[in-house]
Amino acid sequence: MESAKKETTIFFGNGVNLLSKEGKSWDDILNQISYRKVLSSIPNTLKYESIVLPQKAYTDGYEGVEFKINGVPDIFLVDTELFIKEKLANKLTQSRASDFYKKLASIKADNYITTNYEHFICDTLLKQGCEKGGGYNEPKRRLRPHFTLERDGQPVRIWNIHGSIEDEESIMLGLYEYSKYVTDIEEVLKPMEQESLNIDKSSWPYVMLHSDVHMLGFRLGYEEIDIWYILTFRKRLVRKGILPRNNFFYYSIMDKNYDADKMELLKTLDVDVIPITLDKGENAYEKAYNEIYKTIREQVKRS
C-alpha cells in the first residue's frame, strides 16, 4: 500500500513584496509611520518596542485625542501601539502585489503560510480560478485563523501568521507579542512531544512539521523566535524518533545579506539550504526569484 503523498507548503516573507516597484523594507515602513527615529542596528521586534515604549503612561488608546499641540504632533500620543498598527495597515493597503505572486499561486500548493500582513496570495489565487471554500477557521488559542479556498475540489489553506491588515489589532510587531506567541505555539505542539493523540492538526505549526515546506523571501532574522522555536522543536523530535523528518527547503539568495553561519545552523536543524546565485545587472532579484520558482516546481514534481 502506497503512503499518502505529503502536502506542499509555501512559506514566504516580505522579500516577495520587494519585487514590486512599490515594495518597501520594514525599516523604510517603520520610518514612514513613526515620528520617532528608528534604531537601525537592533532586531526588528525591538525597533518596534523602542518606538512605542517611551510613550507616556495611559496613552495606548487614541480615540478622541488631539494629536497636535500648537500645530506640532505630540510624539507620545501618535506613537502608541494601536496608532502605529493602524497606520501600518493603511500604508500596506495602498501597496500592490508583485507579479511573482502569480507564479507562487501556479505552484498549486496545499498550504500558503506568510509573515506578511497583506492578502496578495489569496487575491491572486481567486483571480486564477480558485473558489471561496470554508472561509476562516478560528484556531485554538492565538495561532491566527486560516482562510480556505478550493481549487479543483481540493482545499487550499492560507495563513497570515503575524496578523492581517484587515484586523489592525491582530498585527504582531514587538518582542512582547512574539514571546506570547511562542507560548501559544508551545501549547499546540506539546502533545506531539508527549506522543499524545490530542493534537491540533489544523494549526500552521503542525503543518510546518508534517508537509514539504519551501521557505523563500524570508531572511529569517534571529528575532523571528516563533519560526526558530518550530525549527529547533522539529529537530528535537526527529532526534528522539518521535517525528519523521519532513522535507524543509530554505532558498537563500547569495546577496550582501547572505549569512554563512546561519546557513550552517539551518543545516544542523535538518533544513536543506538551496543557495541561489544573484547575477549582476538589471532585474537581478527577479532572475533569482525565477530560479527559486523553477526549483520549487521541480521539487514538487518529484515529491
Residue 164 pairs with which residues in a beta bridge?
167
User: What's the pTM?
Assistant: 0.90
Which grid coordinates belong to 244? Answer: 519523521
The 10s digit of each residue's pLDDT in 14-49 is: 999 999 988 888 888 888 888 778 898 999 999 999
- Give me the pLDDT at residue 140, please: 47
The C-alpha cell of 267 is what?
543545516
Residue in 249, 277, 278, 279 with CA at minimum distance from that of residue 263: 249
Task: Point out which residues pair with 11 in neighbouring strands.
Answer: 113, 215
Q: Taking residues 121-135, report their average pLDDT.
A: 89
Instruction: Note the pLDDT of residue 136.
Output: 60
* Confidence label for 160 from pLDDT (cuts 50, 70 and 90): very high
Q: Is-contact 200 210, C-beta < 8 A?
A: no
Q: Are the CB atoms for 84 and 68 separated by under 8 Å?
A: no
Mean pLDDT of the chain: 88
Percent of the chain with pLDDT over 70: 87
CA separation for the pair 260, 129 (Å, rounded): 41
Rg for the chain, CA atoms, rounded: 20
Average pLDDT over residues 150-154: 93
pLDDT, position 261: 98
Summarize pLDDT for 187-222 with one digit per residue, the tens: 999 999 887 777 888 899 999 999 999 999 999 999
Strands (E), 168-282: 212-216, 248-253, 272-276
Cβ–Cβ < 8 Å for 227, 13: no
